[in-house]
Structure 1
Amino acid sequence: MPSACTPMAANDLPDDLVELGYVAEAHGIRGWLKVQPHAADGAVLLGAGRWWLRRPGERDAYVVEIARSREHSGSIVAQPKGIEGRDAAEALKGLQVWVPRSAFPVPQEDEFYWVDLIGAQVTNLQGEALGKVSGLLDNGAHAVLRVTYPATDRRGAPQDAERLIPFVAQYVHEVDTAGGRIVVDWGRDY
C-alpha cells in the first residue's frame, strides 16, 4: 500500500461510511485513479476531499486526501495527495471507495439518496404494512424499490418474499427519511 494511504482500524472509522464505487485502474502515469462510481451521478465523490479505501470483505480501511477530481467518460478520475506514479496508483486497484454520509450534499426537495431509503418501512394508503426497503434498482427510466416481507414457501417454511414498487410520484405518496417510512399506493396482492 502506498505510504500516502493512512491505515485506520475499523473501530476508528466514521460510523456513517457509504460505499460509492471502486478503484477500477490507474489513470495516466502520474498517480491518478480511475474510479467507477455505483451511481450515475458522481457528485458526492467529486465533492469529497477525503476517501476511505477498503478491500472487499475487510473492516479496516485506508484514508487518502483527494487533491483534484473530475468526471471522465462515465467514471471519476482523481489525484490523491502523495500517490506518485502509475505503480502506486495500480496498487489501489480493486479497493472500494467510501465516503461518510455526513459529507453528502443536502438533497433538493423531493430528491433522496438511496442509502437513506434502505431500511424504511413501507405501508400503503390503507395502512397495511408491505415490508421493508432492502435495496433499489435502476431500470433506466426510474428507480424501483425492492421491498422484502416475511412469507412462507409451499411447504410452510418461512422465507423472505419481495415486492418491486416503482419509485415514481404515481405510486409513492410520502417519503419520511427521518422517520424511516414510505407510503405508497400499492396493494398487498400486487
Structure 2
Amino acid sequence: MAEMICIGAIAGAFGVHGEVRLKSFTATPEDIASYAPLTTEDGTRAFEITLTGQTKNGFTARLSGVATKEQADALRGARLYVPRDRLPGLPDDEFYHADLIGLEVFDTGGTALGRVRAVLNHGASDLLEIEMPGQSATVLLPFTRQAVPTVDLTAGRIIADPPEGLF
C-alpha cells in the first residue's frame, strides 16, 4: 500500500443533517476536497468531500455516506489520509511535515542532537520538536534556513546550526 499522508481531521458534527467540522492540514486549506477520496487511518472508510462553509479553524463539509448527526458524531477525531503519490511535488526548499518526522538531527560539527518528533506551527513559523537522546525533554528548533541549513531526505538527516544555548 502506498505511504499514506494525513491531510485533515474531523472535529465533530455540524448541525443535524450529517455535516461535519473539518480541519485541513493542506497548504491551501480549501484544497482538501480536491484530494478526495480521503480515507480513515485504517483504510476501512473512504469519503468524497463537499465543502459547505467555513468555521473557526476549519470548514463545514458533507462527506459521502454520512447523512445524520449521529454518523457525523461517530467520526469525531478521525484523521483523513491520501496516498503520498496523490500530493503535488514541492520546490527544493519546501517539505511535507511527514517527511521531516523521524529524521536524525546533527549539528554542523556532526554531533547527534536528536530526532524530529513533530513539526509544530503556532502562527509565526514552523518549529521542529527534537527528541534528545536519553532525555524525556524535547527542544523546539526554529525551522528556518539559518537554524536548519540542510535537509537531506535521501540520507534521512538534518544539519542544524541552532541558536547558542538551545541544546
TM-score (norm: length of structure 1): 0.69
**In structure 2, C-alpha distance between the alignment counterparts of 1:67 and 1:116, rounded to whole Å:** 25
Where in structure 2 are the equivalents of 1:19-34 lying within 5 Å?
A: 19-34=6-21
**In structure 2, C-alpha distance between the alignment counterparts of 1:166 and 1:75, rounded to whole Å:** 25
**In structure 2, C-alpha distance between the alignment counterparts of 1:170 and 1:71, rounded to whole Å:** 39
Q: What amino acid is the match of 1:68?
A: T
Structure with max Cα Rg: 1
Query: Counterpart of 1:3?
Result: none
**Secondary structure of the structure 2 residue equivalent to 1:172:** coil
Q: What amino acid is the match of 2:48?
A: I
Query: Counterpart of 1:72?
Result: 54
Where in structure 2 are the equivalents of 1:37-186 lying within 5 Å?
A: 37=24, 41-42=28-29, 45-53=32-40, 60-69=42-51, 72-73=54-55, 74-151=57-134, 159-186=135-162
Superposition misfits of 4+ residues, deviation over 6 angstroms:
none
In structure 2, the CA distance between the partners of 1:148 and 1:83, relative to structure 1 (3 Å rule), is closer
| 1:73-108 per-position Cα deviation (integer Å, ceiling 9, x unaligned) | 331333222333444333323333233333322223
Contact 1:21 1:96 in 2 (8 A): yes
Segments of structure 1 that go 5 or more residues without pairing to the other structure are 1-13, 55-59, 152-158
Identity %: 30
**RMSD (Å), alpha carbons:** 2.9
